[in-house]
Structure 1
Amino acid sequence: MNGKKVLVCVTGGIAVYKAVALVSKLQQAGAVVKVMMTDSARQFVNPLSFQVMSKNDVFFDTFDEKDSSVIAHIDLADWADLILVAPATANVIGKVANGIADNMVTTTLLAASSPVWMAPAMNVHMYDHPAVVRNIEQLYKDGVRFIEPSEGFLACGYVGKGRMEEPEKIVALVAEHFQPKTLPLQGKKVIVSAGPTRERIDPVRFVTNFSSGKMGYAMAEAARDLGADVVLVSGPVALAKPTGMRVVDVESAQDMLEAIEAEYDTADIVVKTAAVADYRPKNAATQKVKKKDGDTFMEMERTPDILATLGNKKKHQLLIGFAAETNDVETYAQGKLTRKNADYIVANDVTEVGAGFNTDTNTVTLIGHSDYRARFEHMPKTELAKRLFETILKRAEQ
């Protein structure tokens, strides 16, 4: 931790006294620590205590510029290697989750580009309140990470979850964060396909499906976070492009196949999450098809089977497919695994509540050869993606 720059943002709660010890222990471990306080935090502890422990000026007034050559809250946001909000009250969690910047702490957090961690501290009922849960979930999606509060005797008299984690534990987590790591997918190239495809009927209509791309984007981001060089081949979605990877936009199944094939020989892992249309109009019209009296029929033809094509060409690649089913899920997935020469199939029943298309959560079964089965119950797709990679990589080491 020597020389690492940690900005500790202290918000108003009785756990502020722990933040004094936290700053002291971070400084003793070799970190360069600066402290920022809200007005409420100053009601519990005088800024002088943090100044003594950090050996740096303490910041609390957005308009008190200690160095006229910089804007303090922007300078501090850029300065930090890690921003630690401890304690993090329900109030500051709610403000940051909703983009409110009405004091120096919240303004700095909105300007931050470094990792932001929060150590919540509040009454157990506040911690369980749907609004607080919702705000924490939003911040997690935005990239904020949380140090779970401990269970124990609370200042309000309750016993339960809500105590800010002990300073020693937080310092250990910070030290682990800064420890140089060899990521499991470092040096590996991972291709992920995501979203739906569109098969044109005419210039204004197309055949598609309900895929939002959320699972595929989560898989791409998980691979990136594990150190991989990621190529995301994306059908048309309404999601923001993830950073730290190359994104190739495609429309049709044929487009998607060609984009993957262009990268396939140099790939180590291919994750085919995309929901590809199985059929396309045999003769797409060049002009808008006008409606007529009575019914009409459209002749359809098969689109290329991307997973089967990749399975036939597979050499060293690890090939992972997805199967969205409505019945006999594992039976169909097992057949797909064999027919298409895949290494794994991730199967899910899209009729389950909170699973499948257009949800932020999923429930799946990972199916592999030799009758391998691993069930992943209802969880956020971001967490599921990480768990899937961890499980597959761990099994590859055995």
Structure 2
Amino acid sequence: VEGASGGGDSPVPAFLNWCRTVGLELSPKVSVSREGTVSGYGMVALEDVQRGELLFVVPRAVLLSQKTSTIRGLLEKEHGALQSQSGWVPLLLALLYEYLAEDSPWRCYFSLWPDLGNLQHPMFWSEGERKQLLQGTGVPEAVGKDLANISHEYSTIVLPFLEAHPDIFPLHARSLELYRQLVAMVMAYSFQEPLEEEEDEKEPNPPMMVPAADILNHVANHNANLEYSPEYLRMVATQPIPKGQEIFNTYGQMANWQLVHMYGFAEPYPGNTDDTADIQMTTVRAAALQGATTEAERRLVCERWDFLCQLEMVGEEGAFVIGREEVLTEEELSATLKVLCMPAEEFRELKEQDGWEEDDDEEDSLTLTNKTIPKLKASWKTLLRNSALLTLQAYATDLKSDQELLRNKETRAKLSWREEQALQVRYGQKRILHQLLELTSS
């Protein structure tokens, strides 16, 4: 999050002027500001806003996408060569062109962007920083995959395209670093229009940039929402917003580790009601193997695990997602606990019939929530507890040291932005895992 720009050089007046020129209408009740916002620019209510009230309207022509960019013809023509795993390459090339073009129609929009050399996404942290601050949270692994994918996409698709069109892209456009920064901007600021219900089978819509809408910051308990119509996009208040309060959109139900990974910030505890902690599926297997005392028992655990893999309940890469109130991957976790803990005889029968029938065993109809977990079979609870303990061992610090850091005002004031965000991610996850320990120890 960048510091406020000095004195009178604010790009806001030029941006607002541009909005008027292109027909992007802001309600007189809102203002774009750095004052009174949680980070960078935000939008603040100048007067009381009622639920359902229109905050601003963005005509579709103002959106920046592969379809509206000055180079849309070229992107359309080369469509086949620009296919990638992410599906983002056409938008990224459009952004690269417009961002570097002196006369881009979106010049005033870019002036409100954060400084690209100063982005806070963990992909711009050093590997040491990521390991030290975020070990155990799942972020370093996610970033590792991102960086590998971005490099691959750049070298195999983007760079050849830039080299093939030197008349359109200046030499300094050929920069993996700049490409990575634009990926981070698309991660943090783009919007994806949801498919209509009847289009569910189709590919998802490509991302696009929505000026004004991307100024809004995120909280789980948001007060505004973007609505799509054929001609316009509208930001509408979803609850009353008192004068002086910040207007927040939602980026979806995001755990803090996802917020840090994709946006470079976390929501301070206990604000993020969507926070979760992951228990890797392979960790549950490790916990089950820990409980096996003989070679025969170990073989049986592996056999049961392979059976769960065949049922597609588990995999080497997956995780069980534990929320604050309930388990979000309930079906997979229930099946895993059931198969790993059932008597050998029962497992043999299950294998013979290739999975279970919809039986009416009460144990299976239990939802995995904070109320029901203490009522599970003892063997299930032991396995869950041991899995949570193993997960907690993956962090570089324990809950207690994070708690002390949060409580100690002096030490905390000295934390960098990155250290503070990482602390919130770790602390929220460990709270959920410790809660699971309590629920399984009764």
User: What's the TM-score once normalised by structure 1's chain length?
Assistant: 0.28
More strand by share: 1
Structure of greater relative contact order (alpha carbons < 8 Å, 6+ residues apart): 2
User: What's the TM-score once normalised by structure 2's chain length?
Assistant: 0.26
